[in-house]
Amino acid sequence: MNKTEINWTDLSWNCASGCEPISAGCAHCYARTLAEDKRGTAAFPFGFDFTARPHKLLEPARASEPSLVFANSMSDMFLGAFTDSYRDDCFAVMERVDRHRYQVLTKRPEAAAKYFATRKVPSSVWLGVTVEHQLTDHRISTLRSIDAPVRFLSCEPLIGPLDLRGRLEGIAWVIGGGESGRHLVDPKVLARRGMVRRGGRGEATYVPREDRYHWATDLRDACDEQGAAYWWKQWGGTRPKLGGRAIDGVEHNGMPVHVPGAMPPGRDGQGYERRKDREAREAQGKLHLPVVS
């Protein structure tokens, strides 16, 4: 497993890599870019073609500190190429090494529902779906049909307005974030998909777009109204941190601590948020990035 710059988790664990696009949020997939840039190397000999990595199944047991683990950040556990047999092997590890909490995120909740129709979601697993705009909000109802200890939404990359009012029953946690990546150098792509604009004189490199600011506050308000924890990851830009991550001057670092047993043993949400805030400040200082509020 590896430490990661994704600010809502501790470690990434990739028992497979490779995926296929399924919706508009996949158009500029960071995982595809990373894997294809390294095609032919020891790390990604087949680029972003699906590749099972069974030797990785031993890794969670080697991490002694109870941690949040983003499972399969370089793939989708419910991709068609992922066999049920190998899926069983992966979830068996998550069930056995239950000091960690595994964040399993998919854009294919129908496949997840079919799989879990005959299996129980381990108590150590958070199950989530990506909802990048209103056209993919049907994934929420499918997720709710699965009996999981923690259900969550990843509204990243948020590429359109998303009204979640009345849609969060049974959803414990919502992540939101604007798109990032080198493709946003193109002004047309930035205008079409970005939640930031290029900063002017006296501003940071990227600043939140005024006309899309409500995309973030709408999510925040829906979570407040319905009791879901809210984590705003970033506004975005060519690099994730360039646009900052504050909404109305406040960073939102909510974790589903209201769900009994959700967090790793010995971890509480406030302590986690304080540690992540400290890490963010340290990274900010090292990179000399502008702070946007």
Radius of gyration, CA atoms only, the chain: 18
Residue 266: the pLDDT is 84
Residue 286: the pLDDT is 45
Do the beta carbons of residue 32 and residue 17 sit within 8 Å? no
* Residues 75-87 pLDDT 10s: 999 999 999 999 9
Nearest to 261 by CA among 72, 62, 99: 99
Domains of the chain: 2-287 (3.80.30)
Residue 271: the pLDDT is 52
- The DSSP bridge pattern shows strands 101-106 and 125-130 to be parallel
Confidence of residue 283 (pLDDT cuts 50, 70, 90): low
DSSP string, 181-195: SGGGGSHHHHHHH-S
- C-alpha 104: how far from chain center: 9
Structure tokens at 48: 């972003």
* Residues 45-101 pLDDT 10s: 999 999 999 999 999 999 999 999 999 999 999 999 999 999 999 999 999 999 999
How far is 255 from 268, CA to CA, in rounded Å?
9
- C-alpha 269: how far from chain center: 17
